[in-house]
Amino acid sequence: MTVPEYAARTKYDRRVAKRYRRDAEGRRGRENRVLLDLLRGLSPVESLLDAPCGVGRVAALSELQGIPYTGLDLAPAMLERAVDRCRDEKRTVAWIRGDLESLPVKGRAFDVVLCLRLLHHLPEPTRSRVVQEAARAASRAVVFTYFHPFALHYAQRRLKTFLTGRVSHRYSHTSGWIDRCLRDEGWRLAAERGTGFLRETRYALFLRDDRDG
Ligand SMILES: C[S@@+](CC[C@H](N)C(=O)[O-])C[C@H]1O[C@@H](n2cnc3c(N)ncnc32)[C@H](O)[C@@H]1O
């Protein structure tokens, strides 16, 4: 089967990486708080894989200082910026250039895996593949973000597509859809959080039921 190409696989070049932190990260304060809250509930976290790590939004969170951290991304330009940003950090960090469609790590290699702000870029069947790969790498927990179809933001996007004829390459689904991808692999949905009234980005935490399996 041919895996469909999607823009997020190739669009994060030097130019996009340069403005990503300024343009996108400024709007992530609320998301960071949601993430930290979920991670606090998992404390102590023994190791963390952040895939994709982008330009190091999560890597730079001072609240995660004590946790051995690995950032993985496909785009060299994004990874370079993340590495630069964390150069002076005193904690254990590692970086991998890798593809979430086929992660270059062993099964259950990390205590917790984060897969943030990627699923909404992915068409099927790539999206299911990435969900399963992220979960495969985690021994205890995996956190995804996804775009919920019933949020006002998403409705605005659909309306824009309708009015302009320009197709949006953002995909929405529910946490139930992720749950169905993972249920047979021994995972269960443990928590879900919105990131604000009417916003489409939501966080979903999955826990492994068969931790010794
Ligand atoms: C919107 S950014 C999100 C980055 C980070 N998770 C955050 O929340 O700030 C999407 C990232 O996904 C990466 N990406 C896209 N396809 C990928 C793949 N197949 N494997 C690994 N990274 C990928 C891009 O290079 C980009 O850095």
Span 97-123, pLDDT tens digits: 999 999 999 999 999 999 999 999 999
User: For the chain, how long is the longest CA-to-CA vector?
Assistant: 52
**What residue ranges do the domains of the chain occupy?**
7-208
Q: Compute the distance between CA of residue 88 and CA of residue 66 in angstroms, rounded to an integer.
A: 15
Q: What is the CATH number of domain 7-208?
A: 3.40.50.150
Handedness of CA 38, 42, 44, 50 (dihedral sign): negative
203: Cβ below 6 Å to ligand 1? no
179: Cβ below 6 Å to ligand 1? no
Predicted local distance difference test score (pLDDT) of residue 212? 57
Q: What is the pLDDT confidence band of residue 125, given thresholds at 50, 70 and 90?
A: very high
Residue with tokens 């604000």: 196
Atom 23 of ligand 1, nearest CA residue: 74
Distance between Cα 202 and ligand 1 center (Å): 17
Q: Compute the distance between CA of residue 144 and CA of residue 40 in angstroms, rounded to an integer.
A: 16
Distance between Cα 127 and ligand 1 center (Å): 13
Atom of ligand 1 nearest to the CA of 78: 27
Q: What is the mean pLDDT of residues 18-22?
A: 83
Atom 27 of ligand 1, nearest CA residue: 54
Predicted local distance difference test score (pLDDT) of residue 169? 79
Report pTM. Answer: 0.92
Q: Residue 9: exposed, middle, or buried by beta-carbon count in 10 A (0-12, 13-18, 19+)? A: middle
**Inter-residue contact 39 to 66 (CB < 8 Å):** no
